[in-house]
Structure 1
Amino acid sequence: MMIAIMSVYLALLFGAVWFGLIRFNTFWKSSPLILLLFLNLALFIPMGWGAPQGPALVFRNAVSIVPDVAGEVTEVAVTANTPLKAGDVLFKIDATPYDAQVKSITAQLKLSTTRLAQMTQLYERDAGRGFDVEQRQSEVDQLTGQLQAAQWNLDKTVVRAPADGYVTNLALRKGARVANLPLSPAMAFIDTSDTRVVVEINQIDARYIAPGQEVEIAFKFVPGRVFGGKVESILQAVATGQAQISGTAVAPKEIQTVPFVVRVKLDDEEFAKRLPAGATGTAAIYTEHVRVSHIIRRVLLRQVAILDYVNPF
């Protein structure tokens, strides 16, 4: 944009001198340098914080699917990268031992309930002891709790999608054995119910960014187009400023100035759902300052969007 403005000015200056409208004296000879200095100080440098620009990234939460019960997989009901709804079946585990446990506890509970009714009847007729009634009631309560736990285990033999999304890098097959250990996930599930777009902004340009400000993003995944959005929040911490629990004294390390991260919500929610995780782009945030620079930034961003047709980086 700086080159374009200077080119237009030089063309106008040359034309004015050619047609004799101005005398090509020392002032006009030095005017391009004066204009260049003025544009930098009054427009392009302030544009950094009035309409900051930075790289954008689309990311989604990944859920490691770890079953709550262990056993042999009897069915894998999904295929990789196929959209799923929350509650859809992912895979099933052999329910035989868990079903047997439910039936066994149910039979014991039925017997204990009958004995409780008999003891209660005898106690009401003054032919039994209150202790026996309390003992049978305790057995019934314990078996009821065991039955609930056994039924929960039986229900968990059917593993379901925790949210809208899809399974990726699927290697699980029928006959495999899965365990309820957090270090042994059965599959990776990508949650698409919430699409997050973050923008990195240099610290020197982030001073005026606030929630609710207008954002425009040009994604390389969709070249030639610019999408609008709003600033949701500015993340209040980066890894370099994080203090971690340790039994040692502070270890000196090189301090680096890293960008701050701004979270953005796109206006077009349907388009946001279609964006693949890892999609990149360039974003511009329009603050309440240096509004005249917004026009220049909008033009520059659209140039980036057009160049995305040929620029893979």
Structure 2
Amino acid sequence: MTIALIITFVYGLSIYLIFFRFQLLKFTIVWGVVSFWIGFHLLLIFLIGLRFFTPYSIDGHMIRQTVQLSTGLPEPTELREVLVTQNTPVKKGDILYRFDDTLFRAKLKEQQAQLAEARQNALILDQDVDIARDAVSEAEANEAFAQQEVTRYSNLVLQGGARQETLDKWQAQLIAAKAQVSEAQANLAKAELAREAQLDGVNAQVAAAEAAVDEAQYYLDRTVLRAPEDGTIVSQQARPGLYVGGRRIAAIAALIADADAYFLATYYQEHLKFVKPGLPVEVALDTHPGRIFTGTVVSIWEGTGQGQIKPSGDVPNFRLPSLQGRFAVEIKLDDPELASALPGGTHGAAAIYTGAGSKGFDVLRKVNIRLYSWANFLFPLDL
């Protein structure tokens, strides 16, 4: 910067001494064009230095996080009460809207009844296992008795003390008793499997019923819409009688959050050569003419819409105006109260001081952004 000033000064002094003070040469149109052309290129040093060492943008806006307020109810539901007005500050948890909860209360009671029934059925399953075990014991006892009778009558028939028909009868009963044992054992296994059908130690039917109750409770809670965080309600057009839910998926209002506001400015890509997070920034807001606010660079956003090609059957159409893109730089203001108080969309200019090059460029840029700030007292010229 100092060298550029010296060169420019020496060049201007030389023009003055040669053509006007000592008149060593006659100042003609040709010499005028040549002198201007050389001087113009000397001035480019300052232009290049300012652009690369102190990037500047007048395309900056305050960004406020916005939450779209929607119920997410699965059924068309009537809005009964509106408890908030337009442009109203709210705190997290404040009730904003109340919707008709008749259908959802009935659904909750129905699911609670089914849960009670499922829990009762789970107890019945324990009884079914005990009954199946008793049936197995009875069938095994009948089998053992029939086996004893078959053994006894087999000996008697051989000795002539009983008839063959009686032995055949007990042999048939033994076969039937064995079948009963197999059937009872199968019923016991079936009852045990039904009882052991569990999810995280809870009977499957009970778990399903509990999930249904939780779902019904969730939608019942959604009939009272609360503020998700501190902020301000805007675009509040809802009136009692409005139906939401079901196929209506649009939000009924928006909440502008108080927290995490930041300033976003766009810069030409080549001017961000030396920019990195943590660098100091000065911001001139249109809402505060004559004042300069400080901040720091948070990040350079990794890309623009020009770097995105959406999946489609169309061949990309590249045109000359789309070749030059601007990158967004996120800036955090040092005064958090100011950032949360400024409306979203507040316009301003931002200068980044990279520390590269001479400090003289920083001085010129500081003058530049302060001129912009003071000019806000006059512009725009809407009288």
Instruction: Report the TM-score, using the length of structure 1 for normalisation.
Output: 0.82
In structure 2, do the counterparts of structure 1 residues 108 and 200 end up closer, same or farther at CA, with 3 Å as the change threshold?
Answer: closer
Distance in 1, Cα, partners of 2:206 & 2:370: 72
Offset of residue 114 of structure 1: 3.1
1:281 aligns with 2:348: yes
Shift of residue 133 of structure 1? 4.0
Question: 1:24-74 CA deviation, whole Å, 9 max, x = no partner?
Answer: 2348x99x9699558614434311111111121112233322212141112
- The CA RMSD measured in Å over matched residues stands at 3.2
- The 3 A distance-change label for structure 1 pair 312 and 192 is farther
Uncovered stretches (5+) of structure 1, i.e. residues with no partner: 18-22
The match for 1:163 is 229
* 99 and 26 in structure 1: CA distance in 2 versus 1, 3 angstrom threshold: farther
Amino acid corresponding to residue 342 of structure 2 in structure 1: L
1:20 corresponds to which residue? none
Q: CA deviation at 1:169?
A: 1.8
Preserved CA contact (<8 Å) 1:211 1:232: yes
1:308 correspondence with 2:308: no
Compute the displacement of 1:141 (Å): 2.5
Partner of 2:56: 53
1:267 matched to 2:356? The reply is no
When residues 108 and 240 of structure 1 are mapped into structure 2, their CA distance, relative to the original with a 3 A threshold, is closer
Matches of 1:259 and 1:81, distance apart in 2: 33
1:109 paired to 2:115: yes
297-306 or 84-93: which moved more? 84-93
1:213 is aligned to 279
Q: Distance in 2 between matches of 1:221 and 1:181?
A: 42
Which amino acid in 2 is paired with 1:24?
R
Q: Is the alpha carbon distance of 1:120 and 1:239 closer, same or farther for their aligned partners in structure 2, counting shifts above 3 Å?
A: same
> 1:287/1:73 Cα in 2 relative to 1: closer, same or farther (>3 Å)?
same
Equivalent residues, number:
295
Q: Which residue of 1 aligns with 2:87?
A: 81
Deviation at 1:214, TM superposition (A): 0.8
Greater share of residues in helix: 2
CA contact (8 A) 1:47 1:290 kept: no
- Of the three residues 275, 295, 298, the one matched with 1:229 is 295
Alignment of 1:132-151 (within 5 A): 133=195, 137-151=203-217
| CA distance 1:182–1:61, shift in 2 (3 Å) | farther
1:122, 1:37 → 2: CA distance? 100
Q: Per the alignment, do residues 243 and 118 of structure 1 end up closer, same or farther by CA in structure 2, a change over 3 Å counting?
A: closer
State the partner residue of 2:71: 67
Could you tell me which residue of structure 1 aligns to residue 149 of structure 2?
Answer: none
1:257 aligned to 2:324? yes
What's the CA shift string for 1:156-210, capped at 9, x where partnerless? Answer: 1111223322221211012211125464222222233221211121233222111
Pair 1:98-2:98 in alignment: no
Report the counterpart of residue 143 of structure 2 in structure 1: none
Whether the 8 Å CA contact 1:66–1:180 is kept in 2: the answer is no
Match for residue 126 of structure 2? 120
Superposed displacement of residue 235, structure 1: 1.5
What residue identity is the alignment partner of 2:238? L
Q: Provide, for residues 248-297 of structure 1, a one-character-per-residue CA deviation record: whole Å limited to 9, x for no partner.
A: 33334334313222111111111000111111011111012223200111
SS in structure 2 at match of 1:144: helix
Percentage of identical aligned residues: 29
| Aligned 8 A contact 1:220 1:279 in 2 | yes
- 2:284 partner SS: strand
The whole-number CA distance in structure 2 between the counterparts of 1:239 and 1:112 is 54
Match of 1:199 in 2: 265
Please report the TM-score for the alignment, with normalisation by the length of structure 2.
0.68
* 1-structure distance, mates of 2:380, 2:77: 47
Greater shift after overlay, 112-121 or 207-216?
112-121
Question: Bigger shift: 118-127 or 247-256?
Answer: 118-127
C-alpha contact (below 8 Å) 2:72/2:249 kept by paired residues: no
Q: Return the alpha-carbon distance in structure 2 between the equivalents of residues 127 and 102 of structure 1.
A: 39
**CA contact under 8 A between 1:224 and 1:309: conserved in structure 2?**
yes
